Amino acid sequence: MIPSITELKVDADDLRVARLAAAAVGLSLADAAIPLPLPGVKPGLANIVALLVLARYGWMSAAWVSGLRVVAGSLLLGQFLAPGFFLSLAGAIFSLAALALAQYLPARWFGMVSWSLLASFAHIAGQVMLARLWLVPHDGVFRLTPVFALAALVFGVLNGLIACRLQRDFMPEK
């Protein structure tokens, strides 16, 4: 094999991010396979990974994992650069922004369920805003807000609880 001229230094951090992103991609594929009545309403299982990464390795790693998950997940689903891709990207950016603030909440009072809930509401806020500005330039989009808010509430709490459980069972120290 011809040796490559450019050599990418891969350190332990990169490998870890790649491994976690792969887990997140797997979960987002599972997400896409779950049939739900409304387009846009999804459990967002991949966010469980983001929550655990944030808790353990910090926001930067969580941002990498989410970003890679959105790009790689959309490539696998054949949605790269399609509207669905930009909607997930907007959702991911908004929920990462929410998590950037949420991580400073006092841990005594707020756990991962709070993070998850804040992230899921930020996620739908970002998506509805993008949809209003770009995909469906009509105020009628906002009439779906209650449905999305309900989904964010239910799945936000569930994902947060699952993340707590996984943290307790598989990441005992901390």
Partner 1 sequence: MWRSFLRPGDCALIFLALLGTALSFPLLWQGGTGEKLVIRQEGALFLEVDLQTPREIRVPGPLGETRIVVEKGRARVVADPGPRQYCVRQGWISRAGEIAICAPNRVSLVIAGKNAPYDSLHY
The contact set with partner 1 (CB under 8 A) reads 105-106, 108-114, 117-118, 121, 140, 142-143, 145-146, 149-150, 152-153, 156-157, 160-161, 164-165, 168
Q: Which of residues 72 and 141 has its CB atom nearest to partner 1 in the complex?
A: 141
Quickly tell me which residue has 């896409």 as its tokens: 32
For residues 60 and 154, which CB has a smaller minimum distance to partner 1 in the complex? 154
Calculate the alpha carbon distances from 99 to 60, 119, 127, 133 in Å. 11, 6, 16, 24
Residue 3 DSSP one-character state: P
**Calpha distance 136→152 (Å, rounded):** 21
Nearest distance in Å: CB 113, partner 1 = 4
Q: Give the closest residue to 123 by CA, choosing from 50, 30, 27, 21.
A: 50
Of the two residues 82 and 150, which places its CB atom closer to partner 1 in the complex? 150
What H or E segment, with its residue span, contains residue 87?
helix 83-102
Residue closer to partner 1 by CB (options 16, 132) is 132
Closest distance between partner 1 and the C-beta of residue 147, in Å? Answer: 9
